[in-house]
Amino acid sequence: MDNFKFDADESFNAALKTMGRFLEDHNEEGPMATVSLARALGGLLVLTTSEDQRDMALGTTISQLCDTFTDFLHMEAEVDD
């Protein structure tokens, strides 16, 4: 097993910043820019993950995507209240 150096919050913040810059640079594309990010994530997942780890990587990615989406919606609802 690979021994990765990983700080979940630091990595998330860096990815969010990078993706935010992409969306700013492609804001004329509207919501389709987000679709491009999703397609790129799927492509990178296949290209950078060994076949025996793809199921785990895809499952974890989808789970984290759903959890983060839900967390942000809850935060948004609390701000609106």
* Cα–Cα distance for residue pair 73/70, rounded to 1 Å: 5
Average pLDDT for 14-31: 97
User: What is the rounded average pLDDT for all residues in the chain?
Assistant: 93
User: pLDDT higher for 32 or 81?
Assistant: 32
Number of H helices, E strands in the chain: 3, 0
Over residues 12-29, mean pLDDT: 97
Q: How many Å apart are CA 26 and CA 13, to the nearest integer?
A: 20
pLDDT attached to residue 1: 55
- Cα 51 from chain centroid? 20
